[in-house]
Amino acid sequence: MIKVIVTGGDGMMGQTIKKITNDSKYHYKFINRQILDLTHRNRVLNYFKYYASQGYNHIIHLAANVGGLYKNMESNIDMFSDNIRINENILEACHKYNIKRGIFVLSSCIFPCNPSKFPMDETMIHESPPHYSNEGYSYAKRMLELQCRQYNKLGCQFICVTPVNLYGPYDNFNLKNSHMIPGLMHRFYLTKKSAGKYVAYGTGNPLRQFLYSEDFAEIILQILHNSTVTDGNIICCNDKEYSIKEIVNLLASVMSIKTTDIVWDTTKSDGCMKKTVSNNKLKSIVNCEFTDLKEGLMKTYRWFNQNFYKIRK
């Protein structure tokens, strides 16, 4: 049996992977910050030493200090420092205790804000700076890609996967620190209860790609189980791109809100205007069936309503 440590076990992707795993050839150990502080080197080394002795030799590294645009803008130092520490500790522990194969999750925000071409591909991560708003998180994730490449020279099989904007059940719906879709969903939900004004941030003009969490979980497991993939970086996205305004209007439709009732607060930052990436490499490696965005939003909103009083918010 192949045994896999999964960091970030209580996050959206950890919970989603837990939900869909049913392969008897694999056993998963999900850890969260209550079990282990990943910024604490000695605790990480001791934990991995023990579980490596129990036969764990694979990892899915999901954990990170992560948040939406406005959390990044306010916390670039913390986002950089925490994530560098986490990744340093995880990689050192894996290498030291013979956990040789794993999936390490990056983010599409690491790509240049002003690239030489669109769509961007895997070769362009370090081409030029990311957007200033999230440079702390972005550079920490860029360094994770670099670190994995160096460990692979020592015989490891550390594969980086780079998803676009993720959304789905189990997400963080905090009004201040969440990503766009969960934050907007929560804000609109509260507005419906109070009969106030529906407010969306920015101009609505930036373009974004989105990926439903269960689709990404399936991709992660396919890559982990595919022994022919031993290194490299793989962008994970579907085939469509939307403006922020299209996303807001689509979510409004799902939540039975009139788009004419939405007010745009253009004093808020748009972030990077466009960061389109290619999924050509992904499609050459895994079988992808992407969830339609409206269907994914409906599933997410249904879960949000059913679990409102216990979700992260």
Residue of 48, 45, 6 whose CA lies nearest to 27: 6
Q: What CA–CA distance (Å, rounded) separates 260 from 300?
A: 23
Which pLDDT value is given to residue 70?
66
Q: What's the predicted TM-score (pTM) here?
A: 0.96
152 is written with which tokens? 């692979």
Per the structure, the complete domain to which residue 113 belongs is given by: 2-310
Q: Please give the full DSSP string across 75-130, using - where no structure is assigned.
A: -HHHHHHHHHHHHHHHHHHHHHTT--EEEEE--GGGS-SS-SSSSB-GGGTTSS--
* Annotated active-site residue in 28, 56, 137, 198: 137
For residue 56, list its beta bridge partners: 3
Per-residue pLDDT tens listing for the chain (313 residues):
899 999 999 999 999 999 999 777 899 999 999 999 999 999 999 999 999 999 999 999 999 998 776 677 788 999 999 999 999 999 999 999 999 999 999 999 999 999 999 999 999 999 999 998 889 999 999 999 999 999 999 999 999 999 999 999 999 999 988 889 999 999 999 999 998 899 999 999 999 999 999 999 999 999 999 999 999 999 999 999 999 999 999 999 999 999 999 999 999 988 889 999 999 999 999 998 899 999 999 999 999 999 999 998 8
Distances, alpha carbon 29 to alpha carbons 15, 23, 54, in Å? 12, 14, 11
User: How many Å is the maximal CA-CA distance in the chain?
Assistant: 60
Q: Please give the full DSSP string across the chain, using - where no structure is assigned.
A: -EEEEEESTTSHHHHHHHHH---TTEEEEE--TTT--TT-HHHHHHHHHHHHHTTEEEEEE-------HHHHHH-HHHHHHHHHHHHHHHHHHHHHTT--EEEEE--GGGS-SS-SSSSB-GGGTTSS---GGGHHHHHHHHHHHHHHHHHHTTT-EEEEEEE-EEE-TT-B--TTTS-HHHHHHHHHHHHHHHT--EEEES-S--EE-EEEHHHHHHHHHHHHH-TT--S-EEEE--S--EEHHHHHHHHHHHTT--GGGEEEETTS----S---B--HHHHTTS---PPPHHHHHHHHHHHHHHTGGGSB-
Number of folded domains in the chain? 1
Residue 51 is a catalytic residue? no
The label of the residue with tokens 């004419």 reads 260
Q: What CA–CA distance (Å, rounded) separates 165 from 244?
A: 12
CATH number at residue 119: 3.40.50.720
